């Protein structure tokens, strides 16, 4: 068993190299995104957001991003959103993007919902449409559960509609990736999160896109945002949202079943996380809500892979509400 100390030493060396190897510098596009935004303080943690004035007639929209990425996910649809809505707000949840990333924090979906409400209140928003994706779908469902119960979120914020993109909202159709499963293990997860390297990220993250893959520069930007402030080390804490989905399944799916709020799902079917059986399950579970199926080659990140048709579906949905 003499190889065990050798492996331990080797691993320790690799870990030390990784921790002392600085995160990659921001690209010009990421610097521009960061410079557009500002920060609020939520319980001594900085939360990044962008509050953009739009030219549209519809009221305020807030966009809730997915795991493990950030508000930068909305970059390709941002101009189009500003054409439809009078105000577009995006944020990085705690632990993501340019927000603070405490490694040992007990991340909870309810807290991310609190952060969203806190930001909306700070910006004096009283009515809002929600556009969400993946992890953001779960945060949106927590907000929806509160809205169904109280007729508002926070003190006086009215929800106008909910549009979701691909997300694991149903346990029956959700297939976590192997890296997500590894991150949940008590010892292996934190170590794996700390030593993840670009090639592994590139392979795992690329697999959830359809044929419209991010180019090399875009994939590096996704990686850079993840590594910002050593944020990858927090992944094993953030991943606790997967057990939360089981724990609060009745609350969150129940909110979707029982709400009177207009809801639509914009779905890319080339998604290994939520494969096409999702469509039938959605229609059977919440037949009162709309679902728009994008082209067969669109995967888990529709807003990045097919921004034109995501915007088109959202426009049509909002226009129906305005009639």
Is residue 1 over pLDDT 50?
no
Continuous segment of H or E residues that includes residue 281? helix 277-285
> Given this model, what pLDDT does residue 196 score?
79
Is the pLDDT higher at 277 or at 178?
Answer: 277
Distances from the Cα of 322 to the Cαs of 58, 161, 317, in angstroms? 8, 11, 9
Instruction: Give me 110's structure tokens.
Output: 């309810």
Cis peptide before 68 (omega within 30 of 0): yes
pLDDT digits (tens, 9 = 90+) for 235-285: 989 889 999 999 999 999 999 999 999 999 999 999 999 999 999 999 999
> Given this model, what pLDDT does residue 310 score?
99
**Within a 10 A sphere around the Cβ of 247, how many other Cβ atoms?**
11
- Please say whether the beta carbons of 67 and 198 come within 8 A: no
pLDDT digits (tens, 9 = 90+) for 27-51: 999 999 999 999 999 999 999 999 9
pLDDT digits (tens, 9 = 90+) for 180-203: 766 675 756 566 666 678 998 999
- Tell me the pTM: 0.93
Max Cα–Cα distance, the chain, nearest Å: 74
Cα(97)–Cα(27) distance, integer angstroms = 14
Choose among 84, 65, 72: nearest CA to 36.
72
Mean pLDDT of 55-74: 97
154: left (phi over 0), alpha (psi -120 to 50) or beta: left
- Please say whether the beta carbons of 83 and 55 come within 8 A: yes
Q: Is 123 helix (H, G, I), strand (E, B) or coil?
A: coil
Domains in the chain with CATH codes: 27-322 (3.40.50.1820)
């Amino acid at each position: 068993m003499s190889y065990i100390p050798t492996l331990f030493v080797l691993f320790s060396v690799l870990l030390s190299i990784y921790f002392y190897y600085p995160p990659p510098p921001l690209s010009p596009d990421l610097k521009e995104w960061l410079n557009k935004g500002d920060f609020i303080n939520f319980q001594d943690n900085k939360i990044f957001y962008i509050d953009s004035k739009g030219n549209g007639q519809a009221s305020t929209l807030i966009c809730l991003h997915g795991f493990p990425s950030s508000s930068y996910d909305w970059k390709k649809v941002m101009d189009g959103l500003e054409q439809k809505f009078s105000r577009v707000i995006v944020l990085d949840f705690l632990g993501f993007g340019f927000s603070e990333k405490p490694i040992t924090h007990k991340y909870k979906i309810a807290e991310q919902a609190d952060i969203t409400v806190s930001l909306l209140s700070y910006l004096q928003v009283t009515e809002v449409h929600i556009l969400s994706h993946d992890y953001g779908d779960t945060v949106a469902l927590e907000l929806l559960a509160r809205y169904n119960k109280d007729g508002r979120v926070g003190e006086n914020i009215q929800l106008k509609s909910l549009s979701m993109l691909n997300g694991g909202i149903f346990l029956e159709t959700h297939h976590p990736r192997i890296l997500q499963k590894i991150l949940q293990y008590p010892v292996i997860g934190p170590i794996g999160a700390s030593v993840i390297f670009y090639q592994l990220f590139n392979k795992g993250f690329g697999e959830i896109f359809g044929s419209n893959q991010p180019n090399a520069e875009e994939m590096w930007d996704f990686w850079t945002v993840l590594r910002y402030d050593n944020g990858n080390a927090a992944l094993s804490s953030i991943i606790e949202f997967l057990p939360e989905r089981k724990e609060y399944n009745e609350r969150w799916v129940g909110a979707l079943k029982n709400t009177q709020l207009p809801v639509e799902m914009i779905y890319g079917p080339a998604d290994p996380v939520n494969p096409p059986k999702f469509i039938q399950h959605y229609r059977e579970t919440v037949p009162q809500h709309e679902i728009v199926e994008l082209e067969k080659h669109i995967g888990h990140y529709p807003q990045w892979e097919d921004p034109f048709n995501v915007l088109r579906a959202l426009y049509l949905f909002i226009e129906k509400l305005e009639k």
